[in-house]
A and B are shown apart, each in its own frame.
Chain A
Amino acid sequence: MASVTLTVNGKSVTRDVDPRTLLVEFLRENMRLTGTHVGCDTTQCGCCTVHVNGEAMKSCTLLAVAVDGAVITTIEGLARGEDLHPMQAAFREHHGLQCGFCTPGMIMSAVDMVRRKGSDLDDKTIREELEGNICRCTGYHNIVKAIHYGAEAMGKMGTAAE
């Protein structure tokens, strides 16, 4: 067993885990934060995307022990109380989902995209930057639209830097 201390959505948590424990398993099974999904389990679909020290990564391909000490943000950590994060609100407003399975990863990627590329995003940039997130329902059209408006809202609210 190995001791892992993480700051997850602002709260410090220490657990003894088997070194094999993936970050996504730590979040879902140890902390019961089940908003982070496992789609493909092979680093392709992006459903497990979380922020590690502010950068988007795929939590199915990270060992929890290897990110010991890191600050983690999951989909549960974006909203402020009852107020959805502007990117979450945009996905609801523009119907950027159907089944919703990929949505947490899409939103975590989208927020990271705004951090890196700014809040004025054209469709080409959004589609290129989404290459690590797969959706099997929507055909992406409304996801791209939601990210466009979500990014714009983040820019207006000054939340681009998170």
Chain B
Amino acid sequence: MYPFNYHRPSSLADAVKLAGGDEAKIMAGGMTLLPTMKQRLAAPSDLVDLNALGLSGITIAGGKVTIGAMTRHADVAGSAELKKAIPALAELAGMIGDPMVRHRGTIGGSVANDDPAADYPSACLALGATIVTNTREMAADDFFVGLFETALQPGEIITKIIFPVPEKANYQKFRNPASRYAIVGVFVAKFAAGVRVAVTGAGSGGVFRQFDFEDALLKDFSAKAIEGIKQSADGLNSDIHADAAYRAHLIGVMARRAVEAAK
């Protein structure tokens, strides 16, 4: 690791100020950032640790679930209220990494990092979440821009994420057995107004919506309704774990499983 100046601000205003520096990096749980720094792939001059800001906790009211950006995966996975409101979201959090990583990693960190194989971006996109920062609110559809790229400006800090409660939802993940990241993950959410399907792990541009599945599921919310829809392999990742054609196949399989398991 290259040397850096460490900061642990106790107010959001101070954190924003510190994070605005040219070579500054924001650290939430650090479960991705620290390994990246250890490999010398990141070399921030200043590390701004958000762990003294609070910003954690889950509140459910008026058909919406609000999760503070610094809420740990273990706390999302274990929340009895969330398991009732959006069980798919609690289950998703319980599939991230391993128990030790879940004790430290945060939802805000995961969403801000926008790893193309991370789990949370699919939940944000499929549930139509609102990402709230120190300056504005953004729809998930506008937030995720590309590989490790979001609409966040330098120094902008996610404070909370608001999820509308769906009628039913489910997340199915085909895991890389070594890294636990999604080779393909599909989150399906059914609302009174429509159906949203988001795919992670597969797209070369990061998380994306599968509109053909959404249209078919709106007419008939059943696995059979999407059985005949071919997912194109164009724009999907090929790597040593799975090629694009295999990922395309998995998207259909995972989506059908998610529809069948949705509750």
Note whether A and B form a binding pair. Answer: yes
Known contacts A20-B1, A132-B99; is A42 also within 8 Å of B104 by CB? no
Q: Judge whether B30 and A66 touch: CB under 8 Å.
A: yes
Contact status B6-A2, CB under 8 Å: yes
From 1 to 29 in chain B, residues with beta carbon under 8 angstroms from any chain A beta carbon are 1, 3-6, 8, 27
Of residues 45 through 96 on chain A, the ones whose CB sits less than 8 Å from some CB of chain B are 46, 49, 52, 55-58, 61-63, 65-66, 68
Q: Are A132 and B31 in contact (CB under 8 A)?
A: no
Interface residues on B, range: 20 to 34
Q: Is residue A152 within 8 Å, beta carbon to beta carbon, of the partner chain?
A: no
* Contact indicator per residue, chain B 28-57, by CB within 8 Å of chain A (1) or not (0): 001100110010000000010101000000
Cβ-based interface call for B92 (8 A) = no
What's the least CB distance linking B27 to chain A, in Å? Answer: 7
Q: Mark B60-90, 1 if CB is under 8 A from A, else 0.
A: 0000000000000010000000000000000
Task: Establish whether residues B98 and A61, one from each chain, have CB atoms under 8 Å apart when the complex forms.
Answer: no
A118: shortest Cβ distance to chain B, in Å?
Answer: 14
From A41, A42, A66, A132, contact of B100 by CB (8 A): A132
B146 at the interface (CB under 8 A from A): no
Assess whether A131 is in contact with B98, with CB atoms less than 8 Å apart. Answer: yes
Q: Is A29 an interface residue (CB 8 A)?
A: no
In the assembled complex, how far is the CB of residue B11 from the closest CB belonging to chain A, in whole angstroms?
Answer: 18
> A41-B38, A61-B35, A66-B49 known; A19 and B103 CB under 8 Å?
no
Q: Are A58 and B100 in contact (CB under 8 A)?
A: yes
Q: How far is the CA of A99 from the CA of B1 in the complex (A)?
A: 30
Q: Are A66 and B35 in contact (CB under 8 A)?
A: no
Q: Looking at chain A, what size class is its interface with the partner chain?
A: 20 to 34
Q: Mark A26-43, 1 if CB is under 8 A from B, else 0.
A: 000000000000000111
Contacts A20-B1, A131-B180 hold; do A56 and B35 have CB atoms under 8 A apart?
A: no
- Per-residue CB proximity of A98-111 to B under 8 Å, as 1/0? 00000000000100
Partner of A66, one of B27, B99, B179: B27
Say yes or no: is B155 at the interface (Cβ < 8 Å to chain A).
no
Known contacts A20-B1, A66-B49, A132-B97, A56 near B103 by CB under 8 Å? yes
B216 touches A (CB below 8 Å)? no
Known: A19-B47, A131-B98. A63 touches B103 (CB 8 A): no
Q: Is B101 an interface residue (CB 8 A)?
A: yes
Q: Can you list, as one digit per residue, whether each of B160-182 has a CB less than 8 Å from chain A (1) or not (0)?
A: 00000000000000000011100
**Complex-state Cα separation, A57 to B72, whole angstroms:** 12
CA distance A44 to B179 in the complex (A): 8
> Which A residues form the contact surface with B (CB < 8 A)?
2, 18-20, 41-44, 46, 49, 52, 55-58, 61-63, 65-66, 68, 109, 112-113, 116, 129, 131-133
Knowing that A20-B4, A63-B49, A65-B49 touch, tell me 17 more A-B residue pairs with CB under 8 angstroms: A19-B3, A19-B47, A20-B1, A42-B38, A43-B31, A44-B178, A55-B103, A57-B103, A58-B101, A61-B31, A61-B34, A61-B35, A62-B104, A66-B8, A66-B30, A68-B8, A131-B180
